[in-house]
Structure 1
Amino acid sequence: MGNNRYLLYGSVRYALGILRPLQDAARARGDEVAWFFDGREDEGPNELTADERRLVTVEQVRQWNPTAVFTSSNALPHFFPGVKVQTFHGFDAGKPRHIYIRPFFDLYCTTGPQDTRAFEALARRHGFFRVIETGWPKLDPFMTQLPDTLPPVRQPPVILYHSTFSPSWSAARTLHDEVRRLSRDGRWRWIVTLHPKTDPEVVAMYRALENEHLRFADDDNILDLFGQVDMMCSDTSSALSEFLLTGKPVVTFRNRRPGPQLIDIDDAADFEPAIERALSRPPELMAAIRAFADAIHPYRDGRSSERTLEAVDRFIAEGGVASLKRRPLDPWRKFKLRRRLRYWGPA
């Protein structure tokens, strides 16, 4: 190896947590890495470290000529050189528009069998991209820290409350009063974190709940909190799938895709008994969690980034873009990308 250049393309801050493990793996192979952000300075660029290279113009990217461009976003500039690789920004939590394609990508690196089956079916139908299952690079540091066996529930137990931002999917307003009530008596400890795009009014509501039994967490990487808690409460956030990889239970409120791996409720009055059941860890629930985790991300070795880079090597060795059908034009989305980056030159 050692002769490749990889561009990591982001639009928001969480791209750092998803793509930095890829940077580590590429550097370990002796390859070069650079970053490109198309958003605000406070959405990632200002958090790059002194040893992380940043390209700031399209001309710089084209001159640098990357072997591949990796992104967790839903699109990337078609006029960037290199293999265009989608690494995803979360698991399928039942929200719309997870299992879908846009004509920007040559290679989808899927996280596990569940997504692989869905995207391979689309690849066979359309023919302008490949699918290779690799695992999710974001989880590499997390997976290496998971204990071999599930630790016992703490005394007092610690609960992570996390909600997505969309009002139609979020339970933050509905469950606020229950979280306030249950965090007052000291029976359980609480850590609360909300999606970065959450309505500031809702954020203020939960910040106001802080007391000796409840902490509001500003951690950018929610994975850092998983080892500190015994269970999670959520709604239709994709973070709950990440949490289930720990083997610990999740209580959800009106989840869009409930299943045996979740304790799902549709009435706030059921919140407390659902938490009690989760903390009791019933065997049938724990077995369902393990089966679900194996379906979405069976890799526990912390080497998904290496597999992703190897997937690009394999894709190129087997013919690369030349082996694919021509991508659909999609002129409107391409125009919007050109306008966003103020680039009107050749593709």
Structure 2
Amino acid sequence: MKVILFCQNNYAFGILEPIKEVLEANNDDFIWFVKEHIYNDFPFKSDKHTTKVSVLKAYKSDVILVPGNEVPHYLRGLKTQIFHGLAGEKKGHFRIRHYFDLYLTQGPYFTNKFNELKEEHKNFDVIETGWPKLDIYGKDKNKYSNYKAELLKTYSAEKVILYAPTFSPKLTSGPHLINQIKNLANKHAEYVILLKFHPLMAQEWLDAYKILAENTPNIIFQEEKNIIKFLLIADILISDTSSVIYEFILLDKPVITFNSISEKINWENSTDYNALENLVKTNLEKDPFSKSRAYINNQFHPYNDGKSAERMVETVRSYITKHGVPEKRNLSFLRRLKIHSIFGKS
């Protein structure tokens, strides 16, 4: 089986890495497609890879795995959406753009909604597999425990707090929490605060938080691209409307959000940015939402066996065995124009 691992943003690397490992174990052939603007961040340069769509066309793939919203319709291969997050309430998550033949969903909440859309549009299939980025939860949840111990020792701290807001200008808490994060760090030396921002965050806020970290001993601005390491070591997450909330809740740890637009909030959500300090204390000490987190685990990602990447690979293999490999995907004129504007003409 010939597979394209399709990356438009650098968060795709951590999502696709478990699949790469399965493909290698199976001796399947694969190539990475990496958009030029993220090439410097690409961590697998010893693997076969390209930044050119023309190379992909010549490659004649069987399957294209895409943790993003677009893929060239004219490429050969089963165009498969594997998603870049778990935030179903975000604008566009359930938008059908007609680029994909197959949607591999993370859990029943997503599967049920996409099956409803399948009945409406009748031009794609839906199969639930789990999400490969979270395979480490089932395989090696304690992978970074030594790193956490050293971090706490270095800063003479007791707890690790992770602040990971969304980038969306309408939803982000970034502009509203910078002073509260500063005060929290200054008043509580027992906390070490990690800042992990989305790669699309506005540059002015990236710069502002970097300056804050440079001037505050127990605040660390994290440049590492894959957030999983920090999810695993953090004791509590501060965010807003971001899919990282669900990734963290699946670790059964407390979350604080500000002005979240999620449909079913099973964690601490506040409209008062000035309440940050008290909310952190309450949730670390009492964890009042511990019982309500079960809904997220059951509906968003019920797989804890660490084998979602394996299921994805075997699912697409079985699918093309049964249905064949699409040579291209038919699109409307406007959709074709959009693909041409992003990736060039066929």
Name the TM-score, length of structure 1 as normaliser.
Answer: 0.88
Tell me what 2:196 maps to: 193
What per-residue deviation string (whole Å, max 9, x for no partner) do you get for residues 110-157 of structure 1? 01111001001111222111000011112223432225xxxxxx8622
Match of 2:123 among 122, 128, 140: 128
Q: Residue 208 of structure 1 aligns to a residue in which SS? A: helix
Tell me what 2:148 maps to: none
Query: How far did residue 291 of structure 1 move?
Result: 2.5
Distance, in Å, in 2 between the alignment partners of 1:237 and 1:341 is 28
Distance, in Å, in 2 between the alignment partners of 1:280 and 1:189 is 16
Amino acid of the structure 1 residue aligned with 2:226: N
Instruction: Tell whether 2:4 aligns with 1:7.
Output: yes
What runs of 5+ residues in structure 1 fail to find an aligned partner? 148-153
Query: How far did residue 50 of structure 1 move?
Result: 4.4
Give the fraction of aligned pairs with identical amino acids, expressed as a percent.
Answer: 30
Q: Residue 158 of structure 1 aligns to a residue in which SS? A: strand
Higher deviation after alignment, 272-281 or 124-133: 272-281
Tell me what 2:106 maps to: 111
Q: Residue 275 of structure 1 aligns to a residue in which SS? A: helix
Tell me what 1:299 maps to: 303
Instruction: Tell whether 2:181 aligns with 1:176.
Output: no
Distance, in Å, in 2 between the alignment partners of 1:33 and 1:60 is 13
The answer to whether the Cα contact below 8 Å between 1:106 and 1:129 also exists between their aligned partners in 2 is yes
What per-residue deviation string (whole Å, max 9, x for no partner) do you get for residues 30-75 of structure 1? 11010123x32x4036625343102444443233211101111111
What per-residue deviation string (whole Å, max 9, x for no partner) do you get for residues 176-202 of structure 1? 111111110214221112111112221
Q: Residue 277 of structure 1 aligns to a residue in which SS? A: helix
Instruction: Specify whether residues 57 and 226 from structure 1 end up closer, same or farther in structure 2 by C-alpha distance, changes over 3 A only.
Output: closer
Amino acid of the structure 1 residue aligned with 2:178: H
Higher deviation after alignment, 273-282 or 68-77: 273-282
The answer to whether the Cα contact below 8 Å between 1:93 and 1:241 also exists between their aligned partners in 2 is no
The answer to whether the Cα contact below 8 Å between 1:260 and 1:288 also exists between their aligned partners in 2 is no
Tell me what 1:341 maps to: 343
Distance, in Å, in 1 between the alignment partners of 2:318 and 2:118 is 17
Amino acid of the structure 2 residue aligned with 1:49: F
What runs of 5+ residues in structure 2 fail to find an aligned partner? 143-151
What per-residue deviation string (whole Å, max 9, x for no partner) do you get for residues 300-336 of structure 1? 11111110111112322332578xxx97632222123
Instruction: Specify whether residues 327 and 11 from structure 1 end up closer, same or farther in structure 2 by C-alpha distance, changes over 3 A only.
Output: closer
Tell me what 1:151 maps to: none
Instruction: Tell whether 2:316 aligns with 1:319.
Output: no
Distance, in Å, in 1 between the alignment partners of 2:52 and 2:210 is 39
Tell me what 2:136 maps to: 141
| Structure number having the greater helix percentage | 2
Q: Residue 290 of structure 2 aligns to a residue in which SS? A: helix
Tell me what 1:206 maps to: 209
Tell me what 1:273 maps to: 278
Amino acid of the structure 1 residue aligned with 2:24: R
Match of 2:256 among 226, 232, 251: 251
Instruction: Tell whether 2:231 aligns with 1:226.
Output: yes
Distance, in Å, in 2 between the alignment partners of 1:21 and 1:53 is 16
Amino acid of the structure 2 residue aligned with 1:213: N
Match of 1:83 among 62, 66, 78: 78
Distance, in Å, in 2 between the alignment partners of 1:59 and 1:181 is 52
Distance, in Å, in 2 between the alignment partners of 1:27 and 1:61 is 19
Query: How far did residue 220 of structure 1 move?
Result: 0.6
Tell me what 2:145 maps to: none
Higher deviation after alignment, 137-146 or 305-314: 137-146
The answer to whether the Cα contact below 8 Å between 1:113 and 1:295 also exists between their aligned partners in 2 is yes
Match of 2:18 among 21, 46, 51: 21
Amino acid of the structure 1 residue aligned with 2:39: G
What per-residue deviation string (whole Å, max 9, x for no partner) do you get for residues 75-125 of structure 1? 101110011100001112522111121111111000111100100111122
Q: Residue 34 of structure 1 aligns to a residue in which SS? A: strand
Name the TM-score, length of structure 2 as normaliser.
Answer: 0.89
Distance, in Å, in 2 between the alignment partners of 1:168 and 1:273 is 25
Q: Residue 135 of structure 2 aligns to a residue in which SS? A: helix
Instruction: Specify whether residues 118 and 47 from structure 1 end up closer, same or farther in structure 2 by C-alpha distance, changes over 3 A only.
Output: same
RMSD, matched Cα: 2.4
Distance, in Å, in 2 between the alignment partners of 1:184 and 1:241 is 29
Distance, in Å, in 1 between the alignment partners of 2:286 and 2:89 is 24
The answer to whether the Cα contact below 8 Å between 1:160 and 1:233 also exists between their aligned partners in 2 is yes
Report the count of equivalent residues.
Answer: 332
